[in-house]
Structure 1
Amino acid sequence: MDVALTWFQARGWEPFEFQRETWQRYLAGQSGLIHAPTGFGKSLAAWMGPLIEAQAEKSARVPGAKRADAPPLTVIWVTPMRALAKDLVQNLGEVAREVAPGWTVEGRSGDTSSTVRGRQARRLPTALVTTPESLTVLLSGEEAAERFASVRCVVVDEWHELFGTKRGVQTELALARLRSLGNGVRTWGLSATLGNLEEAASALMGAGKSSGAPTLVRGEQRRDLRVETLLPASIERFPWSGHMGLRLLEEVAAELDTATSALVFTNTRHQAERWYQALCYARYDERERIALHHGSLDQEQRHEVEEGLRSGRLWAVVATSSLDLGVDFTPVDLVFQIGSPKGVARLAQRAGRSGHSPGKVSRLVNVPAQALELIEFAAAREALARGEVESRSPIERPLDVLAQHVVTVAIGGGFRAEELLAEVRTTHAYRDLSEDEWNWVLEFARFGGDALSGYERFARIRERADGVFVGGNKRVIREHRINIGTISGFGTLAVAFRNGRKLGHVEETFLARLRPGESFTFAGKPVELIRIEDSTAYVRPAKKVSALMPRWSGGRMPLSNELTHAVRRAMAEVTRVLETGEVSASPELNAVAPVLAFQRQISHIPSENELLIERVRTRDGDHAFLFPLAGRLVHEGLAALLAWRATRRQAITITQSVSDWGVELLTRKDLPVGDEDWRALLSPDDLLEDLLRCLDGAGLAKRHFREIARVAGLIHPGMPGARKGQRQLQASAGLIFEVLTEHDPENLLLLQARREVMERTLELTRMREALEAIQRCTIRVTRPTQLTPLAFPLWAERMRDRVSSESWEDRVRAMAEKLEASAGAART
């Protein structure tokens, strides 16, 4: 390890103990998972092992032996974001040039130029930085066995982001393939902010005998972490979040004035666009030093922003989770979190972007979008101090991903069925794959399954006379390679100027509402729509800034389980403060106490072992507000379940709305539920059957099936330059779904669609746990004479969907003022 120590000493550094341990374990032939906070040197811990080994072997060579220009492919570095590849190539290459001269380091992703691809087709570099999708494409090459035989180490960066996703399963299958092609391939993962590290390590290492027991190396160095909250000068007793926290714009700008550099994190891309515009307006003279960064922006713009952070040119960057991961740049002084982080791990990850190195202070300032988020901020900080970080559940046996992998291996040199089955079973995801499931996948890849076997285009592999399965015709091979991956790109169109310069991607549903000549703001620029052609919306600069901005679906993150438990504890703390008159150690809870004091005055504050139900009558009708505090996704299923069960008692129309805190049921007539009926309506008995009935389980599965059909190869978005539209793809998937439902109802992909809807979309397991917890709770029913602070956000949420000549924000603001007036008290 002398070469590594020399490299560190030349920079005046001393390796951490976890880095030394990783090098030793690597050189001993072990694999493992490295867990350490952001900025503590996980990459150097994983990278130095192969370099040390290479130098040791170089020194041991017989003098005069012939040497190649550069060692063959030795290390594969997998990153979940192709935007990180450029940084990694540069950083790893700088170390390699000094520690292991002769090593070449290159990237391979969808952004790689044709020139580099051509060079790599002839010879791969010594170390390849790539994504799960691009690695799988390389494994589909006919000479994959020869090209990857020299691999000794695979490093999977940001494993906590891949684990528990289909991209993670795709990575597991690629690792299994590399282990079978190589000789003693070692696997090392890098992870931060994950609760179930042991399980994550097992998934990374695989279940094969050659994998050995996974090693968990922990970098436990502590960081000084300061999490603060901007407290509004006045707090609304009737909270709502329509202003996205912009009421505190001047306070945020004032904090920015004290910093040399800062990141402003938001939870959605729409919110990022709004805050970017607002900050440019608030600090107009500094607008050239303020930038925007999110996943729908073109990669060139994102790279410019990242370079601006590195060089110190930028003062403030408004970003989403696109900058959560390991994009390498100079640590910023200050991080803002706009709105609730929704999870403890996300708060820790974002805070780590400030003081992003050992010995530095990480400072994060929370900015509430509404009063109840003060409770969530206090709860998140307390949960972080207790070490209550979210876990991720692994995905078990997704057959759509396996079907794609089978075709990949078939066109990548071919396979024998029994050998590939044994290889697949070495993965954590498919360790329990049955013979029947395997045979079904094999037949599905060969013929498309029973219902589709008559269509030649679904026959993607064939069996040769020698028992080896290989790819089908050239069209099948070309289509498969173009569409490898599990990331859904459905429903988005590129946005570009007439000269071809791209701004990024926007959802097709947003652009479909616009006519040529209409303006909108995207990527921080006002643009005017010219036309939509070949999956691209062509625009030109607009003369005026438009208030219309794109919204992206799937942007609302639910509260995590860990954070909901912490919120209940925070509520109990506020109750204690109100009962004793003491001051809480949490400034956020002290600030929000008057709001909850009013809640307590006109209704009740639920304890940790209570379910609060508020029955309120307004001019809209009869409201029932329930506060299980189980997160938005659980509440969506719960609202539908309650409405369906209630209508079984009496035919009545029930309108629903949900938030992370609760559920609203609204009827014009009296809701046919007495106080004594709620426990039965909230029973976990027959939960699955009732959900399938009330939520149109077949309809949900049909919509979800499109994603599965694309991954499994039943539908294709098309070739570059001829991509199919969202409606066309949806129609194709819908038709296949109906054919399978009628003629092959036991099709395993249909069953997978239903299972994923229940577990991933509706969080069935978490919903059942919530209902079981309610059965152990005291149910407290109150009848306040007006909407309460807890109920008002649910009322406001429902109003989003109502058609009115007034804007939603104006309607909600007017109602809040009316409630304040009727309460007969001054604003707190």
Structure 2
Amino acid sequence: MPTPKDQPQSLAPALRWFKQQRWEAFAFQREVWEAYLRGESGLLNAPTGSGKTYALWLAALLEFIQDNPERFQEKKSNGLQILWITPLKALAKDIRQAMERACEALQVPWKVEVRSGDTSSSQRQKQMRSMPECLITTPESLHLLISQKQHSQLFKKLKCVIVDEWHELLGTKRGVQLELGLSRLKVIQKELKIWGVSATIGNLEQAKDILLGPDHPRPNRIVRSNIEKKIVVESILPDEIEKFPWAGHLGIKMMDKVIPIIEQSKTTLLFTNTRAQTEIWYQKLLSKVPELAGQMAMHHGSLDSSVRSWVEDALHQGILKLVVCTSSLDLGVDFRPVETVIQVGSPKGISRFIQRAGRSGHQPGAVSRIYFLPTHSLELLEGAAIKEAIRQKIYESRRPLEKSFDVLVQYLVTLAVGEGFLEEEVYPEVKRTHSFKDLTPKEWQWALQFITTGGDSLGQYDEFAKVILKEGIYKVESRKTAMRHRMSMGTIVSDPVLKVKYASGGFIGTIEESFIARLKKGDNFWFAGRNLRFERIKDLTVLVHKARGTSGLIPSWSGGRMPLSSQLSELIRFKLDEFLEGAYQDIELKAIQPLLALQDRWSCLPDRHNFLIEKLTSSEGYHVYMYPFAGRAVHEILSTLVAWRISQIQPISFSIAMNDYGFELLSDTEIPLEEALELDLFSQERLMEDILESVNSTEMAKRRFREIAAISGLVFQGFPGKPIGNKHLQATAQIIYDVFTEYDPENLLIAQAMEEALYQQVEQSTLAEVMQNIRQQRIIIEHPSYPTPFAFPIMVDRLREKISSETLEDRVRKMQLELEAYAAFGE
């Protein structure tokens, strides 16, 4: 190990290469190289496009050069030295090219290979016989390696694990899976270094501690770049601000403002928040600007991987002028030809917006330019809030998961499929992860019983007894069980999807079963930028023909509504305060001044010290609107809780609607709001009990259990090319859930399903904080005669559930005209 005075010489090969490239090594790159050569671990935090990959990769090469002065004479295999973990397979190609370039320049005879779900079986077998020095892989593929016999031999020369985009894994079950995988590698290699690469998040110190584990033996640090990545954000303003906005329609109406931006840029990424929006924008742009044909492409997660790869290669080569995409292009792929990014609609999160902005100017010193296109007028508030967040350097935190028992039992079977494991060795390993640091002996014994017998209620079924205990070693001896387990190792279960293929052959992508179920033979729908005619479903495959014309349905995918982050919510309130004080310069606030002024005239604009409630009566009934500005996910449960508590005063039925700013309660009878407030409507006493009473927690838990059942191996999803039908999987998971609740109520997977339902879907901790804030505010009750600018979009969201999109636009426009007339003629 070099001493500090030796280190400048140790860095010489990297500095020499940088000089040849006319590059200047950044201070953070030098700090990583020096810390790595001292044997430290850590977390690197640097902006997109600043050279993060070379910071860590060159550190590994420098160590090898230092330890192997005869490397040029010896052309032997050095064994697996570096594991580079990436959350997305799409990142691997870029990373590999950069690594191979550095190896060649520094004359390090290393092989760099990729191992993922797309790697051929012959290539995987070749790797097992002779590992490359660096393997780029995913958390799932790491566990597949651990499930191999003699996996300890694969990792016996491993020097370092580098986790790219760690912030994307933190707070997910794939992150828990990686924690467990690292716990095994740290036992095989006692001196293992671990480094993470992360964008800026609110809990960076905690992110480092979770990655390294509570007892990491090496000195460790966070290396922060001092590079200020310049992000230029420009909001695209509509010519006329609608005083009564509604979600979704405004973006397409401003297409004429988008086209010149695309034309003036060499390459543009146009991000949308959903796959459905991506399909719509692609279709509309091609119709409006047909000369973009051949220069425009689409990229989202449901398209065939070969299509996505082609788009990524074309971006690298600079032959595409425009790509319409979703979060599938969020992460750190280096597309240097990209000059401009357009974000359609609020991304609902600060970090997500910054990540997307970084796709342009993806090189040191370059400016990232992003245009923000609101899909309704009120989203301009969010645009101003995001710009404020960038100015103040405010980022969201990622909440880590704890005690994901489905991932734990999957991991234990993985170890049993591989070399087998001893209880007294693995229990301390698992306890040294953040996710399972509080695992009790009783919970551990439950996990062992579950993998060996299936638990109290499934013990009589042999298929659930996967692991046997033989001479103190837990192992899987059944080849069938081992094969099924390896095929079911992915922890993220997608929504029920079907393959889409031409009847004549040719795979297009995947689409959700719920959308296809609405189609009849001969119906047209748009997918992958093509108009397709639905024929039939055969063997879980949607067979289609090309269709003529431009009419057709746009597919919908679940998960399209992203929750508003609490940090962005707080900044929206901050911007409202600035508006009320008259101390604002934002062009977004200036643009929506007429809307905010009308809201203040008809009702009021709440600042951070006031909580606004509006009561009004219409031909539909009695309305109550509340505005916590806490995001749709919180409003969904808060509105249900408030409705349930009011119903305890008198029997009453409600229709409920919500958006990111507030929610509506609608009833055909007078709502006893004042009485409910006197009885402490927003009390935090008995909060959990009232939540469980007000929501259908059992149904929510059942929905969560489907994923848990798949991860823990309770349901088998089928063989490659012959998947088991989604309806069958859902039915099987529900039967097992019912069996557990009746005969094994202490089963930890049932408890986990309820926990996930409450904390992930309900966001109970955030809800408690929101209710505490409301209790500290002054409650203002206004009685407007008409729906206000804040109330109108919530009302439209309720109507959206009742009438078709074609009828909805006509209905909403009529309502807008009526309300604008009232506003124009003095109410």
TM-score normalised by structure 2 residue count: 0.96
Separation in 2, partners of 1:806, 1:375? 28
Q: d(CA) in 1 for partners of 2:592 and 2:209?
A: 43
Q: Which residue of 2 aligns with 1:134?
A: 141
Q: Distance in 1 between matches of 2:140 and 2:676?
A: 54
- Asked whether the 8 Å contact 2:318–2:337 carries over to 1, the reply is no
| SS of equivalent residue, structure 1 residue 807 | helix
Partner of 1:424: 430
The residue that corresponds to 1:70 in the other structure is 77
Instruction: State, as a whole percentage, how many aligned pairs show the same letter.
Output: 43
Provide the residue aligned with 1:772 in structure 2: 772
Classify the secondary structure of the residue corresponding to 1:649.
coil
Query: SS state of the match for residue 226, structure 1?
Result: strand
Q: Corresponding residue for 1:541?
A: 546
Contact kept? 2:51, 2:364, Cα under 8 Å: no
Corresponding residue number in structure 2 for 1:822:
822
SS in 2 for 1:645: helix
Indicate the residue corresponding to 2:12 in structure 1: 2
From the superposition, tell whether residues 516 and 123 of structure 1 become closer, same or farther in structure 2 (CA, over 3 Å).
Answer: farther
CA distance in 1, matches of 2:154, 2:653: 64
Tell me the CA shift for residue 296 of structure 1.
1.4
Could you say if the C-alpha distance between residues 138 and 500 of structure 1 is closer, same or farther in structure 2, counting changes exceeding 3 Å?
farther
Alignment of 1:296-315 (within 5 A): 296-315=302-321
Aligned with 1:440 (options 430, 433, 446): 446
Q: Check whether the contact 1:464–1:470 (CA below 8 A) recurs between aligned residues.
A: yes
The residue that corresponds to 1:33 in the other structure is: 43
Check if 1:704 corresponds to 2:710: no
One-letter amino acid matched to 1:297: L
The answer to whether the Cα contact below 8 Å between 1:820 and 1:826 also exists between their aligned partners in 2 is no
1:369 Cα deviation (Å)?
Answer: 0.6
Q: Is the contact between residue 649 and residue 676 of structure 2 (CA under 8 Å) also seen in structure 1?
A: no
Of the structure 1 ranges 282-291 and 443-452, higher mean CA displacement relative to structure 2 is found in 282-291
| Aligned counterpart in structure 2 of residue 523 of structure 1, from 528, 531, 549 | 528
The DSSP-based 3-state class of the residue aligned with 2:673 is coil
What are the equivalent positions in structure 2 for 1:653-664 lying under 5 Å apart?
653-664=653-664
Q: Secondary structure at the match of 1:551?
A: coil
The equivalent of 2:3 in structure 1 is none
Are 1:783 and 2:783 matched, yes or no? Answer: yes
Counterpart CA distance in 2 for 1:328 and 1:538 is: 36
**2:495, 2:330 → 1: CA distance?**
24
- Pairwise CA distance, 1:132: 0.6
Map 1:383-422 to 2 at 5 A: 383-422=389-428
Aligned residue in 1 for 2:519: 514
The one-character-per-residue Cα deviations of 1:736-762 (angstroms, maximum 9, x if unpaired) are 111110111111111111111111111
Output one character per residue of 1:331-351: Cα deviation in whole Å (capped at 9) or x when no partner: 422111111121111111111
**Structure 2 unaligned runs (5+)?**
1-10
1:54 aligned residue: 64
1:631 aligned partner: 631
- Structure 2 match to 1:373: 379
Alignment of 1:172 with 2:179, yes or no, is yes
Once the two structures are TM-superposed, the CA of residue 545 in structure 1 deviates from its matched residue by 2.8
Residue 496 to residue 244, structure 1, CA distance change in 2 (3 Å): farther
Cα distance change on mapping 1:424 and 1:167 into 2, 3 Å: same
CA distance in 2, matches of 1:674, 1:445: 55
Partner of 1:750: 750
2:474 to 436, 461, 469: 469
C-alpha contact (below 8 Å) 2:214/2:432 kept by paired residues:
yes
State the Cα distance separating 1:540 from its structure 2 match: 2.1
CA contact (8 A) 1:193 1:348 kept: no
| Aligned partner of residue 681 in structure 1, secondary structure | coil
- The answer on whether the counterparts of 2:139 and 2:178 sit within 8 Å (CA) in structure 1 is yes
- Give the Cα separation in 2 of the matches to 1:680 and 1:200: 39
**Following the alignment from structure 1 to structure 2, what is the Cα–Cα distance between the partners of residues 136 and 386?**
40
C-alpha separation in 2, matches of 1:438 and 1:208: 20
2:215 maps to 1:208 = yes
Matching residue's letter, 2:399: S
Matched, 1:689 2:694: no
Deviation track 1:254-303 (CA, whole Å, cap 9, x = no partner) reads 22222111111111111111111122122211222111111111111111
CA distance in 1, matches of 2:540, 2:729: 13
Determine the structure 2 residue equivalent to 1:151. 158
Deviates more, 1:242-251 or 1:378-387: 242-251
Paired with 1:545 and 1:139, the residues of 2 have a C-alpha distance of 51
Please give the secondary structure, in 2, of the residue aligned with 1:521: strand
Distance 1:147 1:349, change over 3 A: same
Give the Cα separation in 2 of the matches to 1:676 and 1:151: 63
Q: Distance in 2 between matches of 1:491 and 1:805?
A: 24
SS of alignment partner, residue 689 of structure 2 = helix
CA contact (8 A) 1:226 1:364 kept: yes
- 8 A contact 1:494–1:502 mirrored in 2: yes
User: 1:341-394: per-residue Cα shift (whole Å, max 9, x none)?
Assistant: 211111111111121122222111110111110111001110221111000011
Q: Deviations over 1:483-538 (max 9, x none)?
A: 10211124011212235432221111111111232211111111122322222212
**Separation in 2 of the partners of 1:425 and 1:440?**
15
Deviates further, 499-508 or 400-409: 499-508
1:498 aligns with 2:503: yes
Is this contact kept in 2: 1:331–1:353, CA < 8 A?
no
Change (3 A) 1:68 1:442: farther
Residue 341 (1) aligns with residue 335 (2): no
| Partner in structure 2 of residue 671 of structure 1 | 671
Deviates more, 1:268-277 or 1:156-165: 268-277
**1:823: Cα distance to partner?**
2.4
TM-score, normalization by structure 1? 0.96
**Which one-letter code corresponds to 1:454 in the other structure?**
Q
Q: 1:682 touches 1:771 (CA, 8 Å); kept in 2?
A: yes
How far has the Cα of 1:68 moved from its partner? 5.1
Whether the 8 Å CA contact 2:409–2:712 is kept in 1: the answer is: yes
Match of 1:428, SS state, is coil
Deviations 1:43-84 (A, max 9, x none): 1111011111112222157x98xx453321111111101122
The aligned counterpart of 2:463 is 457
Show the counterpart of 1:96.
103
DSSP 3-state at the match of 1:167: helix
Alpha-carbon distance in structure 1 between the residues aligned to 2:679 and 2:504: 63
AA partner of residue 145 (structure 1): S
Change (3 A) 1:792 1:135: same
Give 1:362's aligned residue: 368
2:592 matched to which residue of 1? 592
* CA displacement at 1:409 relative to structure 2: 0.6
CA drift of 1:677 comes to 2.1
Which residue of structure 2 aligns with residue 246 of structure 1?
A: 252
Q: How many residues were matched structurally?
A: 817
Residues 1:13 and 2:23 are matched in the alignment: yes
Following TM superposition, the consecutive aligned residue runs of length 4 or more in structure 1 with deviations greater than 4 angstroms are none
Q: Secondary structure at the match of 2:301?
A: coil
Q: Distance in 1 between matches of 2:254 and 2:193?
A: 50
Q: CA deviation at 1:26?
A: 1.0
1:620-662 Cα distance to aligned partner (Å, 9 max, x none):
1100000011111100001111111111222221000011100
In structure 2, distance between residues paired with 1:418 and 1:678: 58
Q: Secondary structure at the match of 1:335?
A: strand
1:721 aligns with 2:731: no
Q: Aligned ranges for residues 273-352 of structure 1 at < 5 Å?
A: 273-352=279-358
Structure 1 residue 163 corresponds to structure 2 residue 170: yes
Deviations 1:209-238 (A, max 9, x none): 43x353101112012221110111101000
Q: Secondary structure at the match of 1:32?
A: strand
For structure 1, the 5+ residue unaligned runs are none
**In structure 1, C-alpha distance between the alignment counterparts of 2:678 and 2:765, rounded to whole Å:** 21
CA 1:634 to 1:314, structure 2 compared with 1: closer, same or farther past 3 Å? Answer: same
Amino acid paired to 2:609: N
Is the CA contact (8 Å cut-off) linking 1:331 and 1:357 kept in structure 2? no
Give the direction of change, closer, same or farther, for the CA distance of 1:416–1:82 in structure 2 (3 Å limit). same
